[in-house]
Chain A
Amino acid sequence: EVQLLESGGGLVQPGGSLRLSCVASGLTFRSYAMSWVRQAPGKGLEWVSAISGSGDNTYYADSVKGRFSISRDNTQNTLYLQMNSLRAEDTAVYYCAKYDRYYYYAMDVWGQGTTVTVSS
C-alpha cells in the first residue's frame, strides 16, 4: 500500500521560512512525479508545485514562484517544499500527492496533510 506522510508544518511569522517534508512508502519513489497541493481554511484546493521523478523538471503556481522551491531525495524517498518569504495568504493545509503521469494523469495518492500558519 502506498503511503505518504507529511511533516514540518507549524506557526511562522510573516517573512519567515519553513521546510515541509513528505516521506513515501510502498512505491518505487523515483519512478513518479510528485506534487504539493494546499487548502486554505474553509477554501478549495490549490495546486502549488510539482516535480518529475528524476527531479530534473519542476513546476510552480504563479502565487508561489520565486518564493517556494520543490525538491526530492530519491535515496530517502522524500519530497520537500522549501517555503520562503511566507505571507498570511500561505496559511493552509499542505498535502503531498503522488502525481501519476504515466497512466492516470491525476493525483492518485494523497497524504493526510500538514498545517502551516503564517501569523505574527
Chain B
Amino acid sequence: DIVMTQTPLSSPVTLGQPASISCRSSQSLVHSDGNTYLSWLQQRPGQPPRLLIYKISNRFSGVPDRFSGSGAGTDFTLKISRVEAEDVGVYYCMQATQFPLTFGGGTKVEIK
C-alpha cells in the first residue's frame, strides 16, 4: 500500500499570511498512463471533506486562486497564499494512482 505522510501536523497561521503543507508518498504516484493522481481536500469543522485540488495542481470548480498545488513523483505541496478565516480546518492529501486509495494523516490549519 502507498503510505501518505503529511507535515506539519498543525499549522498556526496569522490571517493574511501564507501557509504551506507537505505531502510525501512512499512510492511514486505516477500512473502507468503518465498522470499523477494526487488530490487535496479541505475539511472545515463539522463539515464533510471538499475537493480543492486534483492531479497535483488543478483547482476544482469554485476553489479560490489563493490555493495552489505543486510537486511531482513522491513530493507534493499545498500552498495558501494568504490565509483567510474560512480556511480554518484540516487538509488531506489523497492518492488515487492505485488501490487501496490512501489519505495523508491530515494537517490542521488554525489562526494564531
Contacts and interface: CB of A to CB of B under 8 A. Distances in A.
Contacts of B50: 110
B100 A111 contact: no
B55 A104 contact: yes
A101 to B, nearest CB: 8
A82 interface: no
Contacts, number: 69
Interface residues of B, number: 26
Contact of B60 (A47, A101, A108, A112): A108
Interface residues of A, number: 25
Interface in B64-106: 90, 92, 94, 96, 99-106
Contacts of A112: 48
A79 interface: no
Contacts of B104: 44
Given A104-B39, A105-B35, A105-B37, A110 B49 contact: yes
Interface of A: 35, 37, 44-47, 50, 59-62, 95, 97, 99, 101, 104-113
